[in-house]
Amino acid sequence: MNFDITKIANAILFMLEKKVVNLNDKKLCALLFIIEYNHLQTYEEKIFGETFIKGKRSPEPEILGDIFNIIANNLDLEDDDERLYIITELLDFLDIEILEKEKFNELNFIKMEEEYDKSVFSQKERKTLEAVVEKYLKETPRQMANATFAKEKVRNTALGEIII
């Protein structure tokens, strides 16, 4: 399966619709990891096609992490860079606000005209997405990071190695 930015964008729209508290890039990445992990455990398939690497604080999405880094740091890309296409596609669905903190930039997501389109997900995928979002609706980004480390596979994977 290939990386699917349309499904990720719709997952974010769903989270915004459900009023997920403290939804920034860190919490989003942890939520996407748990959604992907749980779906893989239950149905032996991924939803978003993302690879997650063990980071110091939580699993980090390989492609989306790179995209968020580019956005947060306002980096310029060549016109033929595939990541520019992914960013443009994501911004077709929602807006991203960059909040400058003391030691890092935080990304917040803002709903625009686009509505969550549940038809991009299969029934099984929607079930996983809805269950995880409901469970972690009010968690802080730190609590989400802790929830990822509650997974044995995360704890047993070496730093910098692929978890899923």
Rounded distance, CA 154 to CA 144, Å?
A: 13
User: Given phi > 0 = left and psi -120 to 50 = alpha, else beta, which region is 3?
Assistant: beta
pLDDT digits (tens, 9 = 90+) for 96-135: 999 988 888 899 999 999 999 999 999 999 999 999 999 9
pTM here? 0.93
Q: Which helix H or strand E contains 59, and what residues bound it?
A: strand 59-61
Domain limits of the chain? 5-156
Structure tokens at 88: 């443009």
pLDDT digits (tens, 9 = 90+) for 40-56: 999 999 999 999 999 99
Q: How confident is the model at residue 34 (pLDDT cuts 50, 70, 90)?
A: very high
